[in-house]
Amino acid sequence: MKFIVYDNPKQIGDHIGKEIVDLLKRNPKAVLGLATGSSPLPVYDYLAKAYKAKEVSFKDCYSFNLDEYINPPFEEATYRYFMKENLFSRVDMDLSHTHFPSFENMDTYDDEIASMGGVDLQILGIGRDGHIGFNEPNTSFDSKTHTTPLEESTRIANARFFHSLEETPHEAITMGLGTIMQSKHIVLIASDLTKVDAIKALLKGEKDLQWPATVLLDHPSTEIFVTKEVFDEANK
Ligand code: F6R
């Protein structure tokens, strides 16, 4: 696991965006593992700009998103909608190549990923409780795609995408920690101070079921991107 420290989230987005552009130049049919939330937005901005500048095409690549809400109250709250808004509609992504976990496919999602040759590059944010995907504390390190209740702290953090906390979903379907660990390369972004305790757990270097992201300590190719303020605070 390698820590990479930048002054601000845009620099993190530029670095990871460039990694993805380079990957797609090497392998236009690459399989991307995608995340929603605030952390990857600067990456998606970089990719939209690179596409506009004709540096890269997404038409032959594939994507598997990490997670999706169960029973979101309106369509705009789905992660599929989020991805269309923030990435797919801004580039030439073929929507038939994009995948999201659902009740229908959750038992076959891991096999589907494997049958495409596995995820080449997985983007992760991290929750304040250390979740990756929606793998909350105490999720088994070898879990596959599954349904999960959301912790109250996760619902509170995500209520900003809804009209109220009451409306914020209680459950989601997520790739498991075992699913994520199959990715060939992983980039994790922690760019705001709510993530300090989760980053502290990673810096401690011990796998701990209370901090799901610590599973990544065993992954052979993971980069942890943090802002300087997060890094400095986590090292105190
Ligand atoms: C989103 C996801 C979550 C988020 C995490 C951080 O698809 O899987 O694990 O990455 O909740 O969210 P942000 O980036 O909004 O702080």
Q: What are the start-end ranges of the E strands in the chain? A: 2-6, 31-34, 62-65, 67-69, 98-99, 121-124, 146-149, 171-174, 186-190, 222-227
Mutate to test the pocket of ligand 1, among 41, 63, 82, 134 (most ligand atoms within 8 A of CB): 134
Range of the domain at 57: 2-234
Model's pTM, two decimal places?
0.98
Tens digits of pLDDT across the chain (236 residues): 999 999 999 999 999 999 999 999 999 999 999 999 999 999 999 999 999 999 999 999 999 999 999 999 999 999 999 999 999 999 999 999 999 999 999 999 999 999 999 999 999 999 999 999 999 999 999 999 999 999 999 999 999 999 999 999 999 999 999 999 999 999 999 999 999 999 999 999 999 999 999 999 999 999 999 999 999 999 99
- What is the predicted pLDDT for the residue at 33? 99
Ligand 1 centroid from CA 158, angstroms:
9
Beta bridge partners of 189: 225
Total Cβ atoms within 10 A of residue 211: 22
Residue reference for tokens 């808004």: 85
Look at residue 55 in the predicted model and tell me its pLDDT: 98
What is the count of structural domains for the chain? 1
Instruction: Report the candidate in 129, 23, 121 with the shortest Cα–Cα distance to residue 64.
Output: 121
Contact status, residue 213 vs residue 132, Cβ threshold 8 Å: yes
Closest residue by Cα to atom 1, ligand 1, is 36
Pick the residue whose CA is nearest to atom 2 on ligand 1: 133
- The answer, yes or no, to whether any atom of ligand 1 lies below 6 A from the CB of 131, is yes
CATH number at residue 168: 3.40.50.1360
Q: How far is CA 7 from CA 121, 192, 226, in A?
A: 23, 11, 9
Secondary structure of residue 141 in the 3-state scheme: coil
* Bridging pattern class, strands 171-174 and 67-69: antiparallel
pLDDT for position 61: 98
**Which residues lie closer than 8 Å to 38 by C-beta, 6 or more apart?**
125, 192
Percent helix, percent strand, percent coil in the chain, to nearest 5: 40, 20, 40
